Amino acid sequence: MGEEIRAVGFTGEDKARFAERLAQETAIARELFAADRFSRAGHMLGFEIETWIVDHNYFPASINQQLLEALNNPLVVPELSRFNLELNCDPLPLEGDALGRAQDALAQVWAHCNDAAHRLDANLVLIGTLPTIRDEDLTLDNMSPLNRYYALNREVLRMRGGRPLRVDILGREHLVSEHRDVMLEAATTSFQVHLKSPADLAHLYYNASIAASAPILAASGNAPYLFGKALWEETRIPLFEQAVDVPGPARVCMGSGFANRSLLEIFEENAREYDALLPIAFEDGPEALRHLRLHNGVIWRWNRPLIGFDDDGAPHLRVEHRILPAGPTFVDMMANAALYLGLARALALGGANGTGGLSFEAARRNFYTAARHGLDAVLTWPGAGEIGADRLLLERLIPTARQGLAELGVADPRGYLDVIEARVRSRQTGAVWQRKALAACDGDLYAMMAAYCEGQRSGAPVHEWDL
């Protein structure tokens, strides 16, 4: 979905041609994998951060086009809405102080973006859902003016027969909202970690990423409010799933199961089970796998397999870990990434096909329980039975993540896993802080957001923030 397209509407011929190319490219990818032509080079790391642009009243500011023009930076790209941006960093070898280097690189891009925003009388904020966003902000008037987004909106509504999208989330309070467009998706902003591994290990990392998602999410919640209502600790999860709800298999989901022998199984499932959402015709040769990659790009698994290409042209496999919220600070986000990477490594090479001995159904159930309850979630874990997420992290998974990072050759001189441990012991995630701060502000969302932004500017991890 990152590339601009020409068409907005599609014909039956477009769909037939796309289906033919998708089948051809899926077969080519399988043949390349069987011939051992996918990259076996070492582990690499990449990040995407989605950020809000807000005015001085903490309402969304729809100025991403002006910001992009002022920045002229290929690492900063548009998102679905005019009040969001996406920040990226160049891929890094996963070794040494890779996480610290990534933090420094992202913080530098962030500083440049914020400087540009300030000149436009706006600010940037990293938060999973913006508590001050209003239902009326999520309209097509605020969609970024790119054909790919208009096409996505058109095709989602076509597949729904014109029926509005309905969000129904029962949490601490109950929210029901209907929209005749896909803009509800814009209310969710994430921190996405890309983990590239040797191709023969990629399916193990995919399975491990699914198994580890629940406890990671329990420790990372930062999205408790939407339209002024207190919902889940990670309201992004049900919101995104319901914001792109079309007939057929779920477009936003945990997937249908673990991979058995390779990640190519997931791409074959894509071709077999999912109708084309954006049947665009590319002129590139089939070896570029453009149709296969676009089709995969409009299936938003919470852990999504990706195919890319190394500098030498060899195709590679990587996992995009999509569960994490943006914010509260860069230290918090890198701590979340450290927990993910360490657990993914330990589980991937720990036997049981990377699953840690967890069934897929248990992993999926754990995930939604963690999204709803955060550190109060009771999870199922092999060898521990039913156990609180906080105890599971402190007694088992944080030590396991330390071991996994060491096995990868990744150092932690900045103490990112210490941040996770302190966050869990204090029981103050971003979501918990927001709820406590709102109570301290007598329910004033704007005062809470002012305090949140001040905490974010301090750079201190959220477990150290005062109320």
pLDDT in tens, 188-201: 999 999 999 999 99
Q: Can you give the pLDDT at residue 10?
A: 85
Helix (H, G, I), strand (E, B) or coil at 403: helix
Q: Say if CB 303 and CB 62 are below 8 A apart.
A: no
If one counts every other C-beta atom within 10 angstroms of the C-beta of residue 300, the result is 18
Give 445's pLDDT tier (boundaries 50, 70, 90): very high
Q: Can you give the pLDDT at residue 279?
A: 94
Give 7's pLDDT tier (boundaries 50, 70, 90): low
Q: Can you give the pLDDT at residue 362?
A: 98
Q: Is the pLDDT of residue 5 over 60?
A: no
Q: Is the pLDDT of residue 1 over 70?
A: no
Of residues 99, 366, 388, 409, the one with CA closest to residue 212: 366
For residue 399, what are the CA distances in angstroms to 72, 192, 342, 384, 423?
Answer: 42, 23, 9, 15, 15
10 vs 416 pLDDT, higher one? 416
How far is Cα of residue 26 from the mean position of the Cα atoms in its chain?
25
Q: For strands 300-301 and 252-253, give the pairing.
A: parallel
Q: Which residues contact 196 (CB under 8 A, 6 or more apart)?
A: 39, 43, 44, 45, 46, 91, 308, 316, 317, 318
Q: Can you give the pLDDT at residue 179?
A: 93
Q: Is the pLDDT of residue 423 over 80?
A: yes
pLDDT in tens, 210-226: 999 999 999 999 999 99
Q: Can you give the pLDDT at residue 8?
A: 58
pLDDT in tens, 352-409: 999 999 999 999 999 999 999 999 999 999 999 999 999 999 999 999 999 999 999 9
Q: Is the pLDDT of residue 339 over 80?
A: yes
pLDDT in tens, 234-266: 999 999 999 999 999 999 999 999 999 999 999
Q: Is the pLDDT of residue 78 over 90?
A: yes
pLDDT in tens, 281-324: 899 999 999 999 999 999 999 999 999 999 999 999 999 999 99
Mean of per-residue pLDDT scores for the chain: 96
pLDDT in tens, 41-66: 999 999 999 999 999 999 999 999 99
Of residues 110, 99, 92, 95, the one with CA closest to residue 417: 99
Q: What is the mean pLDDT of residues 77-106?
A: 96
Q: Can you give the pLDDT at residue 4?
A: 52
Q: Can you give the pLDDT at residue 11?
A: 87
